[in-house]
Amino acid sequence: MDNIIINGMAFSMPLFIIAVGGIYSESSGITNLALEGLLGFGAFCGGLTVAVIEHLFPAGSALPMYIALFAATVGGAAYAVLHGVLCITFKANQVISGVVINILSLALTAFLANQINTAVFGKTSNKFLLAVSPRIDIPVVSKIPLAGAFFTSVYPFEFIIIVVAVMAWYVLYKTPAGLRIRACGDNPHAVDAAGGNVAAIRYGAVITSGALSGLGGICFAYSISSNFSPSIFMGFGYLSIAAFIFGNWKILPTLATCLLFGFARSGGYALVTKLELPGSYSDLVLTMPYVLTLVLLIFFSKTNHPPRALGEIYDKGKR
Amino acid sequence: MKPKNYFIKKVMVKTLGQEKSQGITIALFCIILSLLAGALLLLALGKNPLSAYRSILQGAGLWAKPRYAGHRSMLTDFMSLLDYTTPMLFASLSVAVALKCGLFNIGVPGMMIFSGFLATITVGYSTLPGWVARPLVVLIGLASGSLLGAFIGLLKHKFNTNEVVSSIMLNYIISYVTSFFIQTDFIDPLTRQSLKINDATRLTLNDAVLGNLKMDIPLLLPVGLIIVAALGFMLNQTRYGFDLKAVGMNSRASRYAGVTIGRTRILSMGLSGALAGLAGVTYFMGTFASIQPAVLPGTGFDAIAVALLGNSSPPGCLLASLLVTVINNGTTYMSSRMGVLREIASLLTGILLLISACRVFIQVLVQKYKQELENYYQTRKEAIHG
């Protein structure tokens, strides 16, 4: 039972922060299917940073990890500019742009990782090894039966994600900037009439989504595989899209969805181990979050209220 | 006043300004831009782009290699190119048909595995003679693909589920579930893939002897060409094609015009799925003869690029799928010859895709330049006469 909670949290937290990124972008009216590519590119930047700076630190130091988290955030934000340019400045179809960004991200990171490994580090591999992340037991509360598992062997990044997510929630719902972002997704013409710069606000939102996705990406890299490799493109970005659509483009319901996904996944794995099924059954378990998403989408899509101007290209001249 | 960058604008308007031929000219423009970007990339890697591009053509069977192994020639490579093009063509047509109806079918990879897997386990391991087995494989591909496509369309119509998300979920579900069955029942322990199917059921004649050459002959390529023509006819000449495009352009307006949107969407997703199913059987039971578990075929994703590049028109898809396959196939040879990483193929495709996504922008830009130049000519004329 404890394992289900520990692993479930480690999976749902990165998923959640990526979904929050998606909410920022979509609240401002820019459809963001690029989350998958953004998280991969962020993880790549983090992995690369670790590979470059690792030897400067004593073995076992946790500092490179924090630097990697930061680098991934910046890298994701930088890559998201591309999505912004395509969708906002070049007025490309936002769905197509998102998919293009994903395909390019996979190609680019695979190529660069290989090229840099060959040229700089002299080995043929498309991976950057990351050190194993330390895990923390919080004293006292971790001793509580059952609920204590939420505080046992926690990845440090989970705290960072919670802090960032609270900040993101506050900015989006309690500040004028957040109001403007949401207004851009609802009625960009009103924002324009009120003197706001729709393009600039949307760029800000898309870049934020890139930053948060990059952060989520490197967290996945640390928790799942302790390395960056092209196998980071496992569809978690799409899963987080499903999470916030099911969460009705609101942060708190999205958190609930992400927790559900995380526990469905870890619970399934625990079941396979418990029943001593052969390893191939883990393939079936892997489908659980996806099946759940599909079923939930079928039941709840009718009542969904996406931002009204979502996916529409803002055209000043159009009334 | 003469507009800034007068010469560039004039050239762009002259070459890209004709609205009738813009579909082709802008696509060519995108290709040239991405080839230039690729050339810069190759230069940065310290390779000669011209010889790199030539070795791509050589690898794809469009330019003679310095030497060939026994029973091989340029024709062998070219037939292999066609063999890889066939599934790509079907997959891109699948994306294109859905796009025309305003739906984004990113579920092609999943549909390909679904149909390929079903046909493999039902017919692929049987000992039926070829003339029974092959049509059966095609039928199973068509049926399974169209069912899955129509299912996604139905979900969209009945429950308002976003087709992009639902088809992505189906991609992963199908990929893992088929992987489970392959791992438990049909695994070849040596190759870690599904057991090879019987040659008589394969939609490609593998190593067929022709004269003193051995080559792969894709049996369904002619069918693909017929479908290109038929789809072109359907989209441009029939009422259903008109409805389909109308829903894609403006679903509300077409509802007022009396089009049943739900039925049109479900039918077009069914058609798109049927084409994806054909892509699946020609890929997993033609170009290849086994399925790698838990891997979504890259062809399904590349097909999006191809459909975009071909402007979702059937003949455009044909040309674009040839082009992308040339890049994919030729790069293997290039990477071994020039010492460039194999991954550069998908990077080149990615760049091509990125630039093609901007085609609307290019179109608008050219239109703006045209207007600017016309204004300039007008004022000049007035200055001369007045």
Percent over 70 (pLDDT), chain B:
99
Do B16 and B79 share a structural domain? no
Give the residue carrying structure tokens 């050459």: B213
The three-state secondary structure class of B208 is strand
With 0-12 / 13-18 / 19 or more C-beta atoms within 10 angstroms meaning exposed / middle / buried, residue B277 is: buried
B353 contact A CB<8A: yes
Q: Is residue B266 part of a domain?
A: yes
Chain A hits for B161, Cβ within 8 Å: 297-298, 301
What mean pLDDT comes out for the span B105-127? 94
Identify the domain containing residue B110 by its residue range. 67-339
* Beta carbons of B372 and B1 less than 8 angstroms apart: no
Q: Is residue B59 part of a domain?
A: no
What mean pLDDT comes out for the span B232-248? 93
Q: What is the pLDDT of residue B386?
A: 66
Do B78 and B143 share a structural domain? yes
Q: What is the pLDDT of residue B277?
A: 97
Q: Which of A100, A111, A281 sits opposite B341 (nearest CB)?
A: A111
Do B352 and B295 share a structural domain? no
Chain A hits for B166, Cβ within 8 Å: 294, 297
B179 contact A CB<8A: yes
Record the pTM. Answer: 0.89
* Beta carbons of A126 and B324 less than 8 angstroms apart: no
Do B10 and B79 share a structural domain? no
In chain B, whose CA is at the least distance from the CA of A126?
Answer: B343
With 0-12 / 13-18 / 19 or more C-beta atoms within 10 angstroms meaning exposed / middle / buried, residue A250 is: middle
H or E element that contains A46? helix A35-53
Q: What is the pLDDT of residue A319?
A: 55
Of the candidates A88, A86, A105, A106, which has an alpha carbon nearest to the alpha carbon of residue A96? A86
Dmax (CA) for chain B in angstroms is 87
Do B233 and B143 share a structural domain? yes
Q: What is the pLDDT of residue A182?
A: 95
Predicted confidence band at A146 (pLDDT cuts at 50, 70, 90)? Answer: confident
Q: What is the pLDDT of residue B3?
A: 77
pLDDT tens digits for B151-183?
Answer: 999 999 999 888 888 898 899 899 999 999 999
**Angle at CA of residue A80, ends A296 and A251, nearest 5°:** 35
Amino acid found at B1:
M
Choose, out of A79, A233, A294, A298, the residue to mutate when testing the contact with B (most B CBs < 10 Å).
A294
Chain A hits for B298, Cβ within 8 Å: none
CB spacing of B357 vs A235 below 8 angstroms: no
Q: What is the pLDDT of residue A25?
A: 96
CA–CA separation, B36 and B33 (whole Å): 5
Q: Is residue B52 part of a domain?
A: no
In the predicted model, is pLDDT for residue B135 greater than 90? yes
Q: Is residue B60 part of a domain?
A: no
Q: What is the pLDDT of residue B86?
A: 96
Choose, out of B99, B157, B161, the residue to mutate when testing the contact with A (most A CBs < 10 Å).
B161
Q: Which of B160, B169, B353 sits opposite A290 (nearest CB)?
A: B169
Give the residue carrying structure tokens 């322990």: B189
Tokens encoding B199:
């040659």
In the predicted model, is pLDDT for residue B38 greater than 80? yes
Q: Is residue B385 part of a domain?
A: yes
A266 contact B CB<8A: no
Q: Is residue B214 part of a domain?
A: yes
Predicted confidence band at A4 (pLDDT cuts at 50, 70, 90)? Answer: confident
Do B321 and B177 share a structural domain? yes
CB spacing of B350 vs A104 below 8 angstroms: yes
Could you report the predicted ipTM of this complex, rounded to two decimals? 0.83
Please state, in angstroms and as integers, the Cα–Cα distance from residue B321 to each residue in A40, A129, B82, B310, B314, following that order: 27, 37, 10, 8, 10
A97 contact B CB<8A: yes
Do B189 and B292 share a structural domain? yes
Q: Is residue B57 part of a domain?
A: no
Do B220 and B106 share a structural domain? yes
* Beta carbons of A169 and A251 less than 8 angstroms apart: yes
Predicted confidence band at A151 (pLDDT cuts at 50, 70, 90)? Answer: confident
In the predicted model, is pLDDT for residue A242 greater than 60? yes
Predicted confidence band at A93 (pLDDT cuts at 50, 70, 90)? Answer: confident
Please state, in angstroms and as integers, the Cα–Cα distance from residue B310 to each residue in A169, B355, B384, following that order: 42, 13, 44
* Beta carbons of A256 and A247 less than 8 angstroms apart: yes
Q: What is the pLDDT of residue A2?
A: 79
CA–CA separation, B382 and B189 (whole Å): 81
CATH of the domain at B223: 1.10.3470
Q: How many domains does chain B have?
A: 2
Long-range contacts of B377-381 (CB under 8 A, 24+ apart): B379/B1
Please state, in angstroms and as integers, the Cα–Cα distance from residue A290 to each residue in A34, A301, B169, B174, following that order: 18, 16, 5, 10
B104 Rama sector, left if φ>0, alpha if ψ -120 to 50, beta otherwise: beta
Domains of chain A, CATH where assigned: 2-303 (1.10.3470)
B118 CB-near residues (< 8 Å, 6+ apart): B140, B144
Q: Is residue B61 part of a domain?
A: no
H or E element that contains B213? strand B213-218
Q: What is the pLDDT of residue A212?
A: 97
For residue A83, give how far its alpha carbon lies from the nearest alpha carbon of chain B (Å).
10
DSSP B50-77: HHHHHHHHHHTTSS--S---TT--HHHH
pLDDT tens digits for B322-366?
Answer: 999 999 888 888 888 888 888 888 888 889 888 888 888 888 888
For residue A88, give how far its alpha carbon lies from the nearest alpha carbon of chain B (Å).
11
Of the candidates A50, A255, A223, A225, which has an alpha carbon nearest to the alpha carbon of residue A153? A223
Do B309 and B251 share a structural domain? yes
Mean pLDDT of all residues belonging to chain A: 88
For residue A281, give how far its alpha carbon lies from the nearest alpha carbon of chain B (Å).
7
A299 contact B CB<8A: yes
What mean pLDDT comes out for the span B75-92? 94
Q: What is the pLDDT of residue B219?
A: 93
What mean pLDDT comes out for the span A71-97? 92
What mean pLDDT comes out for the span A216-230? 88
Q: Which of A126, A297, A299 sits opposite B165 (nearest CB)?
A: A297
Do B128 and B92 share a structural domain? yes
pLDDT tens digits for A180-222?
Answer: 999 999 999 999 999 989 999 999 999 999 999 999 999 999 9
Percent over 70 (pLDDT), chain A:
100
In chain B, where does DSSP find H-type helix?
Answer: 6-16, 22-44, 49-59, 74-100, 108-119, 130-159, 163-185, 221-237, 239-249, 251-256, 261-282, 298-309, 314-338, 344-357, 359-385
Do B265 and B126 share a structural domain? yes
What mean pLDDT comes out for the span A72-78? 96
Chain A hits for B172, Cβ within 8 Å: 235, 286-287, 290
- Per DSSP, A76 falls in state H
Do B188 and B96 share a structural domain? yes
pLDDT tens digits for A251-291?
Answer: 999 999 999 889 988 888 888 888 877 777 888 887 888 88
Choose, out of A83, A100, A282, A310, the residue to mutate when testing the contact with B (most B CBs < 10 Å).
A100
